[in-house]
Structure formats: structure tokens, C-alpha cells
Structure 1
Amino acid sequence: MYEVSVFVTAALLIVSGIFYAYYAWIGKTDPVLATWILMTVMLGLSFWMYWESPYKSWTGNIALTSGLVNIVTILFGVTVTHLRRGTLRIAFDVTQKWCLIGGVAIVPFWWITNNTLVSYVLVQLVAVVAILATAERLWNAERNSESLFLWVVAFFAMMCAIYPAWVKHDTFSWIYLGRAIPSTALIIYLIVRIERKVLLFSA
């Protein structure tokens, strides 16, 4: 059961990342590059801190380890897509800029205090703020620029990651999932809301 959960989580996240990049390439989605840069920074910091913890494991926190592959794949695909279109532009809003500053500022705090757990929690809190910036954009959007299917796939992947976290008693994994699952659910809700709004106006 443990191996199955790990495999399903990794497969869903990696495949969804590849398909998200492909959807961006064919114009089915219109992702904001700054958002994915910020998410890559947050997951990169999370992975770095997790790997310095006593819990470090490729499979215990499979949502994070595979999630990093997912995000890097998407960032690469989105960057190449914008380069091909000649639309490569990185524009962080005020909240995203503060999130980047906050994420970077946590690193010296981590080095000084040598408290990996607290630093990891702080990164997750910054990630929540970053997600709220994305949520605000989706709330005000007139059309959907995201793939509902791929976000749902990511949600189920993280639900599958609960079992490995439980088996390994991985505190860092629980913290990550406690942030990532509600965040993903919020994005799904907002995408559905946009699509319903579009249907109502087109009816």
C-alpha cells in the first residue's frame, strides 16, 4: 500500500506537470510566469529545508519531492512557451514581491537559529500568502486561464500522499500537505467559479 501510494502520487504530479506545460504550449492555458517562478522558489526552499531535517526521505514527503519536479517542469514549459510567442515578461505584483523577499529572508534566519522546522513552517506560511495572491487574480478574472482537470489531478495526488506521511510519521510532510491540500482545493473552487460565471453570461 505504501509503495502504491508513493507511485500514484509521483506519477500523477509528474504527468500533470508535463501536461500543464503542453497545455501552455498549445495555448489551452495562459499561465502567469511570475506565479510559477514564485512557486518554484517556495518549493525549492521547502525541499532544501526538508532535506536538512531528520525526516528526509524521497518517499515520506512524496508530495513535496514530486511536487518540485512538477513545478520545475511547468516553469520550464511556460518559459519556453512565452519565448516562442515573444511574450516573455516577468511581472510580480506587490504581494508576490514581498513573498519573494520573505522567502529569501527566512534563509538567514534558518542559518542563525539552526531551527529547520520553524523555518520550514515560515516558508509554508509565505507560500499561503503567495497562493492568496493567485486566488485574488482568479477571483477577479473574467475568463479561465487554468486547467481544471490538471489541478484536480494534483489534488488527488496530494490526497494519496497522506498515507506515506502517516506511515513515516513525517512531520514535515504533514505540514506541507496541511498547506498544499487546502490551497489546491481553493484554486479548484475558483476555477469552477470562473467557468460557471462564463457559462451564465454566455447562456
Structure 2
Amino acid sequence: MRDFSIYTVSILNLLITVTYCWLLYKKRIKPALAMWIFFTIAVAMSLITYMAKDNYGFLDNILNTTDIVLAVTVSIAIAIYGDKSSKFTRFDKGCLIGVLIIVLFWIITQNHLVTNICIQGILVIAYFPVIKRLFESKENTEPFSVWIAMLIAPCISLISSKGILATVYSVRAIICISILLMLMIRIEIISNTKH
């Protein structure tokens, strides 16, 4: 089951990355650059502190490991192909300050456990720009297929996760993505009732 989990999560995240970048290139989606930059910083710090806290390897938290590739690739694609609404707003900059404070805390204290838990907070904050955008928008700017796959990946990753921090990482992802999907459904319902 461990191998199944590792391979499935890796393949899912690869497919998510390719699909998301393709949809972005074709201008079918308008993702928030800030969210993906926060996500990149946070998943990297999460994996660093996870591995530093205990003697775990990359495959012991496969979702976190493959999320780094996903986040970096999507961030670069948004920076290249994103539209003006994908750029940083004042709200995004405020969120970035929060992210940098937690990173600074880790640099100073080297407290891996507390920092990792705070990073889960960063990963929640990373959703704020897209949540804000979904509340303000009259159209859904995010692809259901990608976010549903992103919900399935952490569910499967729980099979191979080692340690409480890997479990916390996956459960946090499940909760955040579920909220995002509910907001996307809300927009679809509102837009369909107006037509």
C-alpha cells in the first residue's frame, strides 16, 4: 500500500501540474500568483522542518515532496502566462509579511516542530488570496478537475505518511481544498441562478 500511495500521489501531482499549466497557458484560468508563491515557500519550509525534526526521508511525506515541484512550476507559469489579476495586491503583500515572519522565527530559533506547525498556518494563509478572489468574482477562476485531484492526493498520501507532521500536512490540505471547492461550487450556483 505504501508504494501505491507514493506512486499515485506522484502521478496525480504530475498530472495536476501539467493540467494547471496548460489551462493557464490557454488562458482558461486566472489563478492568484500570491497564493502559489506562498504555497511554494511554505511547502519547502514544511518539508525542511519535517525532515529536520525527525529522521524521515522525502518519500515519508510524499505529498509535501511532490507539492514542491507542483508549486514551483505553477508559480513560474503564472508569472509568465498570468494576467494582471494574477499580480500581487495589497492584501497579498500583507499575507506575505505573515509568511516572512514565520520564516524569520525558524531562522532565529531553529525550532522545527513549532515552525512546522506555524507553516501549516502559512499554508492556510496561502489560500486567502484565492478565497478573496472567489468571494469578489462573478466567475469561477479555478478549474474543478485540478482541485478535485488536489483533494484526492492528500487523502491517498495518508496511507504512506510517517509521523504526525506528515498527517497534519495532509489533513490541513484536505480541509483547505474542501473549503476552496465549496466556494467554487457557490460561484457556479450563483452564476447559474442569474442566467
Q: CA deviation at 1:6?
A: 0.9
Other structure's SS at 2:59 match: coil
State the alpha-carbon separation in 2 of the partners of residues 112 and 81 from structure 1.
36
Q: CA deviation at 1:55?
A: 4.1
TM-score normalised by L of structure 1: 0.87
Give the counterpart of 1:91 among 81, 84, 88: 88
State the alpha-carbon separation in 1 of the partners of residues 142 and 128 from structure 2.
16
1:174 matched residue in structure 2: 167
1:163 matched residue in structure 2: 159
1:41 matched residue in structure 2: 41
State the alpha-carbon separation in 2 of the partners of residues 190 and 5 from structure 1.
28
Q: For residues 88 and 98 of structure 1, do their structure 2 counterparts lie closer, same or farther at Cα, with a shift above 3 Å needed?
A: closer
Aligned residues: 195
Q: Is the CA contact (8 Å cut-off) linking 2:38 and 2:96 kept in structure 1? A: yes
Deviations 1:102-148 (A, max 9, x none): 22222332243332011110111132133234223212220011101
Q: Is the CA contact (8 Å cut-off) linking 1:63 and 1:157 kept in structure 2? A: yes
For structure 1, list consecutive stretches of 5 or more residues without a partner in the other structure.
Answer: none
Q: Which runs of 4+ in 1 moved over 6 A?
A: none
2:178 matched residue in structure 1: 185
Deviations 1:147-190 (A, max 9, x none): 0111001100110001111xx3x122012112111001111111
Identical-pair percentage: 26
State the alpha-carbon separation in 1 of the partners of residues 97 and 191 from structure 2.
36
For structure 2, list consecutive stretches of 5 or more residues without a partner in the other structure.
Answer: none
State the alpha-carbon separation in 1 of the partners of residues 75 and 128 from structure 2.
19
Deviations 1:41-73 (A, max 9, x none): 222222222232214321111111111111112
Q: CA deviation at 1:78?
A: 1.6
State the alpha-carbon separation in 2 of the partners of residues 143 and 89 from structure 1.
15
Q: For residues 175 and 56 of structure 1, do their structure 2 counterparts lie closer, same or farther at Cα, with a shift above 3 Å needed?
A: same
Q: For residues 111 and 37 of structure 1, do their structure 2 counterparts lie closer, same or farther at Cα, with a shift above 3 Å needed?
A: closer
Q: Is the CA contact (8 Å cut-off) linking 1:99 and 1:127 kept in structure 2? A: no
Deviates more, 1:126-135 or 1:181-190: 126-135
2:71 matched residue in structure 1: 71
State the alpha-carbon separation in 2 of the partners of residues 161 and 112 from structure 1.
31
Q: For residues 201 and 159 of structure 1, do their structure 2 counterparts lie closer, same or farther at Cα, with a shift above 3 Å needed?
A: same
2:25 matched residue in structure 1: 25
Q: Which one-letter code corresponds to 1:92 in the other structure?
A: T
State the alpha-carbon separation in 1 of the partners of residues 106 and 30 from structure 2.
36
